[in-house]
Structure 1
Amino acid sequence: MSVSVEDGVIREVSDRPIKADGARRIDVGGKTLMPGLIDLHVHAYFSDMNAKLVDSRDAPYRTAHAVKKLGHALDCGFTTVRDIGGGDYSLASAIEDRLIRAPRFFYAGKVLSMTGGHVDYRTPNEQHHTHGYCSCGSMNWGGVVVDGVDACIKAAREELRRGAHCIKIVASGGVMSPSDPMWMNQFREDETRAIVNECIERRTYVSAHCHPVSAIRRSIEFGVRCIEHATLIDAETARFVAERGAFVVPTMSVIFVSMEVGAALGMTPDSMAKLEVAADAAIEGLQHMRDAGVKMGFGTDLLGSTYDRQCREFEFRRQVFTPLEMLRQATSTGAEILMQEGQLGCVRPGAHADLIVVDGDPLKDIALLAADGRKLDLIMRAGEIVKNRLD
């Protein structure tokens, strides 16, 4: 096959040599040309396992971390990422203007949380809290605490005004937050539906952090399009998700990598205990979703210094999925979740020229993509070659 690229776009794909006077020609030589990978769950600014410490270090430190993390992702073949909490217009603009070497960048802006929810990082003994957008008293860099329909609408509109690709809410408890159990459902129906409606009017969608089945089911019933994590999903709920045509982005890396190094990096005993609950159910949940035919994307959610384990997501998923299934999760299904079908995650005329060349056949050996970029001979992002070992 031959592929021609011009002005950052794939112009032609042919089973015959393509005539193009003056074009630079690169012989892939029997290796595998495929779309660049898509990681749908990153937090570029999350520079430490302790979210409150991230906030106190201020923007320059967080930005320096983002530069290093995003550069590593690009070197691993991830030509697109979705920052699902914390990414902003400034970082996206710096990437667009090529001040930062990074993948294509979609962002959800600040995560919306209710008081006492997963992104309210105050410990139970902390009383201070100033209500109102952008003065939530904790985790200002990545989240905003909102209660009631009007506050939810205002916060959603504000993030969309700031260029958010979608809106992220926390619809259940989580591992890292200090005062909410994982089984807790968060946001009322009217609050969730209000946020969903704002996204519909903007022709985009809501993605919801969910661990337990109750949060997954009610979120989808209330109009949420994409579920993050779904760690505790069972077979019945997986079938429900599939029937509704919703998407799920599981995140195995953050669970199992944090189990390995979390305590050493400062995770609290309470968070480690919640992490064990997630780990016990995570792989079984993947099997439930595969059996039900749930459409799944590829996400990692790695925090702090663990970002360099991004490619291990393939290692964890291979316990359940075939290489072809994982390749689709990390390319075409990811593009569908991003509402970028035909533009990303494919090699076809009119698509963005985000391409990688693999030294081998990932359909036979998915470990080629789990090697932190060492098995990638070429990486192209928006038509620009950022790595080339073929010439």
Structure 2
Amino acid sequence: MSGPLSSLKILDFSTLLPGPFASLLLADMGAEVLRVESPTRMDLVRVLPPHDGGTSTSHAYLNRNKRSIALDLKRPEAVEVVKQLVSEYDILLEQFRPGVMDKLGLGYEALKAINPRLIYVSITGYGQSGPYRDRAGHDINYLALAGIASYTGRRDSGPLPLGVQLADLAGGSLHGVIGLLAAVVQRQVSGVGQQVDVSMTDCAFSLHGMAGAGYLGGGVEPGMENQALNGGSFYDYYRTRDGRWFSVGSLEPQFMQQFCAAIGRPELAARGLSQKPEDQRALKREIEIEFEKRDFAQWCEVFAGLDACAEPMLPLSEAVRHPQIRARELVVEVPREGLPAQAQLACPLKFSEGLPPPRHVGVAVGAHTEQVLAELGYDAERIAALRAARALG
């Protein structure tokens, strides 16, 4: 199995999370991904705890199936190597602030002149234009400015810092992959590439979905606990007697009827249809009282055979062992040189033709430098000259 993207060759200049997660998905689907890394400025994910076998587990996961070449892009000799690579790797992914690649002589216009088919994907916090284009930011900042945080939380405690990086992953990573593949499809028709400008703030803003439509079209400002899906209705989490939690999403009447019968309160089903905030608050309190009467395991037994949209909230240690997660093979064993295979999150996409098995975890900086240069036609003498010029790691 070679994977559906085996025809793609990607130069990956990104670090941390958004770009590497995007290129991980591409590599898992068969694309050849070559990380271009600095020999002097380490990707900080490499030192992020916890560690397994002396290597960051995050780095080992995010960079599996990728090769690495160490180039000091401040050296003109290293820039020339990249320009040679662009002739073969006709997709480039970068995550620098706007203008940085231009200063290095590796901006889109410069590289497009070498290879007009080049697809150049730029992932940034705020995009290539606008007053914030040069501003620093993190996931929490993008969600705050995009308005997402304004109705994600509780009235009494305020906005909720999410446990996953929503803007980084759903914004930068997934939208980056979508934009890249869309540009590939267009190139198949037009024969030319283009630059794809991915702003994590833009993408977070697009995630407003129904709330955004409701405000722009209907003038309804979303707020904390004033919508059905953000705590304004019985659609919520409920604490069990032993301090664990259950999720209840029984919005449709058929699910609500099953749910209310299961908790021993069938008369509550009709109240679930009310749109009045006071009715929803009263209903939530009734459900809270019922959940507090039994332990988590007992509620698991109650809902195990029901189609009521009520599921236990699992910690990750239990989620990885859940029968559904196991059946979908969402944990995979990835080979490591000289060490036992490492368990990692698997590619979530399923193809009838299958995907290639994982080849290796993330590698050391520049692990494939000489191999890649040899593929470009460099002999030992030219490689030694690059090292002497301190262009390589």
Q: TM-score by structure 1 length? A: 0.26
Q: Which one has a bigger Cα radius of gyration?
A: 2
